[in-house]
Structure 1
């Protein structure tokens, strides 16, 4: 049961809550270590997308008799920490919640913020959110004054164009403009300096993929772009997906047909959701002609959106670790009852990374939805995914297809993902 507790707390499900509430887990040093490790390190699949687990584990500890020992260890970690990774941000939030509950001196939060600010000061830095959430307008005044006193020519651009309090209007109870006016009325020179810097226009706006490109321009960019320049390919792929016209797609497809090997390797990377307009048999031949694992992987990805049943047989023939998820997508797209055992085996062998990659295809498979078996797939995906954002998508489908039971409903009430908890309340 301990291994289940550890696995589920890393996934962020409600299972650890239920295990503690129902007495299935006894307090021990081993459980202490699991809880401590999940506070000092954010073990979410994608912390940037999923956010902090501090509230989740803080509330979980309310069911744990030895929470005081863990709190003491976290406070000691907080006082000594110097990094700014996702784990440290999570610890800062956890300790802020201790301070809000009167279990820790909140002045230590300000000291730790100043330590980090002396090292590297910027909008969105560690500690800002927690000071605002614990002291609201008092913290707004403190931070505006602090920044006004310490911003230098070297870091001033970090504060231009947006106030540090703009993302927290809802939590603070005031609109950004109102807070700016309130700060102006403080008649404080340092605060006024901060406001003048925050109101400046940004010199450089973040670049976005141009909406109006020609095939020739795309080819020209690709010719100059090294295959390792992932960011450039992401921009062009975004353009292909969102802005390219049908004529653009046809032109790029024609360019692929006429291109040499080097350009083929680059062009094929642009096609994911928008199908390349090249006959599948020609792509099959290209797979055999170009012995390059990255190209073959990208080509298989480009095959998936095409509507040709022969693609299923081709991808099955080429199945290996590199092309595995492409074949699973094809299996989902061309599902029939005779593929049930095969699909179950494939999904059973999926890693959490594989599940993350094939999830949308599974959830959106109109063919699969026609079968009662779809509910079993949803349950399997729910059990295997580690990402709470993916879990939210799965739960939404489970609710739509009435594949929920009381046990799962009880579980999602304690999920780390607040959107899932809200879905549970609306059920």
Structure 2
């Protein structure tokens, strides 16, 4: 293999791990290079930063599989691996999704492989997987198989199951009477009967809409006193009157307990502190007390203020800390022309996914407030390094808002692992941007 081929394959693998559409475009431009080993690795492993939030990348991977001559080899390898893979829930879930796509594309062996792996769920050391995919691939037969398998555990181990999976299956298969089918099968099978009884007793229902609670000083103080004040939106923080906000601000000035102080600052991260910001700056300049995120929330509370001393603290932290992610928001209201070079330097310090993900929050917050074409270089560096499709979506939207979306990224998002980015490509091209 020539050095050029090796470079292209490294570039392809880098894109695949991040989930960007560059991988598809590389395949398209290099039909003579065999990328099958890399695609197989991408099929086995969900490389997303937060797999639970992003979900399976099966559609993204399958698009790559369909593109190359080694398609049959890859499908056979993935199905073989699925049947023996013991754990890694998110990788297994992705492989089960791929099995569904293979089956729908005319590979009947995918159903056999999925059944074989599902049978092993009861074995020690095998992580449970495949129930949603089995029901999708084999309809009511798959649903009955799931009911029997899960029902066996309910019957023998006094376990339980709610009705979410069956109700979702029923919603997608309106021509069936799923509960009737379970009832009929349950008369002959004690495990299916146990499953049916459990899902009836544990009926899943979407939480009913509740009238939104209006936040007040009293409610926030009650939550702080109970150590239960965790999250509040900007809209909810704005429920409070100026007098109530000032009352909370007075209390935080007097508060000596650092953990309680943090709870107050969670509020002021979403609503501007009404007094002089020096207390906030003093906290942000100090060390984080044990078992608190006090400095982080002090920094977030300072996003509403501009001041030379705030900017100086930001510059000092940027230069003295290898990872200044906790201090990036100091620049939100103190950004100056040319600061994109500061952010470029910070973004170039590491390619580590954890590092890039940690600084992405601050970069996004800074450029949501500061509209400038100078955002292009630092945001593109993050885009080209991050394996979080959710942040990548935020970054692309900022590039569009500032009219600096490159043609390269515009075409890549058409094949991105993030479905919202794929839809965004359609909008961008439709609007001629």
Please, what TM-score do these two structures have when normalized by structure 2?
0.77
In structure 1, C-alpha distance between the alignment counterparts of 2:182 and 2:76, rounded to whole Å: 40
Q: RMSD of the alignment, in Å?
A: 3.9
* 1:71 to 1:164, Cα distance in 2 relative to 1, 3 A: same
Deviations 1:4-37 (A, max 9, x none): 111101011111111111117611xxx4442232
Retained in 1: the 8 A contact 2:83–2:114?
no
1:136 aligned residue (133, 139, 150)? 139
1:253 aligns with 2:249: yes
Retained in 2: the 8 A contact 1:54–1:90?
yes
1:64 aligns with 2:103: no
In structure 2, C-alpha distance between the alignment counterparts of 1:173 and 1:11, rounded to whole Å: 35
In structure 2, C-alpha distance between the alignment counterparts of 1:215 and 1:16, rounded to whole Å: 49
In structure 2, C-alpha distance between the alignment counterparts of 1:121 and 1:70, rounded to whole Å: 23
1:274 aligns with 2:271: yes
1:313 aligns with 2:312: yes
Which sits farther off after the overlay, 100-109 or 15-24? 100-109
Where has structure 1 moved over 6 Å in runs of 4 or more? 208-212
In structure 2, C-alpha distance between the alignment counterparts of 1:396 and 1:376, rounded to whole Å: 14
* 1:278 to 1:73, Cα distance in 2 relative to 1, 3 A: farther
How many residue pairs align between the two structures? 401
* 1:183 to 1:26, Cα distance in 2 relative to 1, 3 A: same
In structure 2, C-alpha distance between the alignment counterparts of 1:290 and 1:326, rounded to whole Å: 12
Task: Name the counterpart of 2:368.
Answer: 364
Which sits farther off after the overlay, 126-135 or 110-119? 110-119
* 1:333 to 1:322, Cα distance in 2 relative to 1, 3 A: farther
In structure 1, C-alpha distance between the alignment counterparts of 2:273 and 2:156, rounded to whole Å: 49
1:237 aligned residue (222, 230, 234)? 230
1:7 aligns with 2:3: no
Retained in 2: the 8 A contact 1:315–1:327?
yes
In structure 2, C-alpha distance between the alignment counterparts of 1:139 and 1:215, rounded to whole Å: 49
Retained in 1: the 8 A contact 2:347–2:356?
no
Deviation at 1:263, TM superposition (A): 4.0
In structure 2, C-alpha distance between the alignment counterparts of 1:45 and 1:38, rounded to whole Å: 14
Deviation at 1:243, TM superposition (A): 4.8
For structure 2, the residue ranges without an aligned partner over 5 or more in a row are 1-7
Retained in 2: the 8 A contact 1:96–1:106?
yes
Which sits farther off after the overlay, 383-392 or 139-148? 139-148
Task: Name the counterpart of 1:336.
Answer: 336
* 1:388 to 1:179, Cα distance in 2 relative to 1, 3 A: farther
Please, what TM-score do these two structures have when normalized by structure 1?
0.78
Deviations 1:177-212 (A, max 9, x none): x75455367464355653332132579x99x99978
Task: Name the counterpart of 2:302.
Answer: 304
Task: Name the counterpart of 1:42.
Answer: 46
In structure 1, C-alpha distance between the alignment counterparts of 2:414 and 2:45, rounded to whole Å: 23
Task: Name the counterpart of 1:226.
Answer: none
* 1:378 to 1:167, Cα distance in 2 relative to 1, 3 A: farther
Task: Name the counterpart of 2:114.
Answer: 109
1:221 aligns with 2:215: no
Deviation at 1:399, TM superposition (A): 4.0
Task: Name the counterpart of 2:3.
Answer: none
Retained in 2: the 8 A contact 1:54–1:91?
yes
Deviation at 1:38, TM superposition (A): 1.9
In structure 2, C-alpha distance between the alignment counterparts of 1:281 and 1:403, rounded to whole Å: 37
In structure 2, C-alpha distance between the alignment counterparts of 1:6 and 1:353, rounded to whole Å: 19
* 1:295 to 1:423, Cα distance in 2 relative to 1, 3 A: closer
* 1:153 to 1:121, Cα distance in 2 relative to 1, 3 A: farther
In structure 1, C-alpha distance between the alignment counterparts of 2:26 and 2:119, rounded to whole Å: 40
* 1:389 to 1:182, Cα distance in 2 relative to 1, 3 A: farther
Deviations 1:387-418 (A, max 9, x none): 11222233334444443454433322221122
* 1:323 to 1:346, Cα distance in 2 relative to 1, 3 A: closer
Deviation at 1:261, TM superposition (A): 4.7
Retained in 1: the 8 A contact 2:39–2:61?
yes
* 1:251 to 1:153, Cα distance in 2 relative to 1, 3 A: farther
